[in-house]
Amino acid sequence: MNHIEGERKVVTSPYRRCRLESQIMLARLLFQPLFFLLAAATVTLAQDVGTLNPHPLPPLAKPDDPAIPARQLFGRKTEPVPLSSRSIGKYSRGCLAGGMALPVNGPTWQVMRLSRNRNWGHPNMIKVLERLAAKVPKIGWPGLLVGDMSQPRGGPMLTGHVSHQIGLDADVWFTPMLDHELSRQEREEKMATNVVAEDWNEVNPAVWSPVHIALLKTVAEDPDVERVLVNYAIKKALCREVTTDRGWLTKIRIVYGHNYHFHIRIKCPSDNHDCTPDPPTPGHDTCAEEIAYWTHNDRYKPKPPTPGPPGHQLTLSDLPPQCRPIVSAP
């Protein structure tokens, strides 16, 4: 598949990085356990539409310049490196060798936004998605619409995500799979379902249902799933509405956005010694402390854009040295 830079009709602006940095400082002081989630998670608040006419990116004039943002290098790679599969580094600072593509159609899944060429992952990620897709029809969810996973060689992306860099993250839409094979145009232009109300404080009762709870439970209970990242209003609803068997709530963690999709993060593969795991989940439901943290000063509400230059963009020297040959290989 040719690489293209997805056309961005709904622009998610650089303000988020600046805001994120101040939030991170605050979180460090106030609430250490949440720090890495703020730092590592996707912060996409609006949906991007894809394009049916992708344009390959022009080659870089000085690809060896050490100041070139790593996302400019990884974003130009349209194929994986044919090495044994390895997730290297952290979820938000790393790369992927031997990436595998999730087939765009399965019995109970379909991949969206094909123009982005982000349906790549470690083979374990592919296995988990296929396993979950096979399970969800039994709980009344017809199948999965899969959004962004990773680029063919992982690494930072030109648009959208902070994590998704090592082939162990996948976004799944809060829209059930439709009863037909979607056209290319539908996959690029269809919008996902927002399950959160306009005030960001609660789920939208016209959309939210027990099936959403069963879906998130099915995902969180998969033994390879490390975390499921969702919006504040969603975790709040789960904390209120799940009354028995609450152990899985420990894996459901709050991040900005994630009102149109949820984010599945799986564990480091046991034989990938270069993969850096997230801190372990605390084991309890985390409802009280997470809700309190995000409720404080209306932290859950997205802030308006503030002008300013974008923050530091990762270069190759910010990534594990093993990523250099991966992105340099033809």
Q: What residue has token string 């009709």?
A: 9
Nearer residue to Zn ion within complex by CB, 35 or 260: 260
**Minimum CB–partner distance for residue 169 and Zn ion (Å):** 6
CA distances from 135 to 128, 187, 196, 205 (A): 11, 23, 25, 25
Q: Which of residues 188-247 bind Zn ion (CB under 5 A)?
A: none
CA distance 263 to 229: 5
Nearer residue to Zn ion within complex by CB, 235 or 316: 235
**Minimum CB–partner distance for residue 133 and Zn ion (Å):** 17
- The count of chain residues that interact with Zn ion, using the rule CB under 5 A, is 3
CA distance 29 to 248: 28
Residues whose CB is less than 8 angstroms from the CB of residue 57 and which lie 6 or more positions away in sequence, other chains included: 3, 4, 5, 75, 76
Stretch that binds Zn ion, among 13-21, 36-44, 67-75, 177-185 (CB under 5 A): 36-44
Residues whose CB is less than 8 angstroms from the CB of residue 42 and which lie 6 or more positions away in sequence, other chains included: 160, 161, 162, 163, 164, 169, 171, 229, 255, 257, 258, 263
**Minimum CB–partner distance for residue 49 and Zn ion (Å):** 17
**Minimum CB–partner distance for residue 146 and Zn ion (Å):** 11
Determine if 171 is a binding residue for Zn ion (CB under 5 A).
Answer: yes
Q: What is the CA radius of gyration of the chain?
A: 19
Q: Which of residues 2-21 bind Zn ion (CB under 5 A)?
A: none
**Minimum CB–partner distance for residue 38 and Zn ion (Å):** 14
Nearer residue to Zn ion within complex by CB, 112 or 316: 112
The kind and range of the H/E element at 42 are none
Stretch that binds Zn ion, among 67-75, 118-126, 247-255, 257-265 (CB under 5 A): 257-265
Helices H, strands E: what count in the chain? 9, 11
**Minimum CB–partner distance for residue 42 and Zn ion (Å):** 4
Biggest CA–CA distance in the chain, Å, is: 59
Stretch that binds Zn ion, among 39-47, 130-138, 232-240, 305-313 (CB under 5 A): 39-47
Selected binder of Zn ion within 42, 47, 85, 92 (CB under 5 A): 42
In sequence order, what DSSP letters do the residues of 49-70 get, joined into one string? Answer: P--SS--PPPPPS-TT-TTSBH
Tokens of 36: 């890495």
Nearer residue to Zn ion within complex by CB, 81 or 259: 259
Q: Which x/- pattern, by CB under 5 A, does the window 259-288 give for Zn ion?
A: ----x-------------------------
Nearer residue to Zn ion within complex by CB, 81 or 257: 257
Nearer residue to Zn ion within complex by CB, 149 or 327: 149
Stretch that binds Zn ion, among 15-23, 34-42, 125-133, 266-274 (CB under 5 A): 34-42
Instruction: Determine contact, residues 218/225, Cβ cutoff 8 Å.
Output: no
Residues that bind Zn ion (CB under 5 A): 42, 171, 263
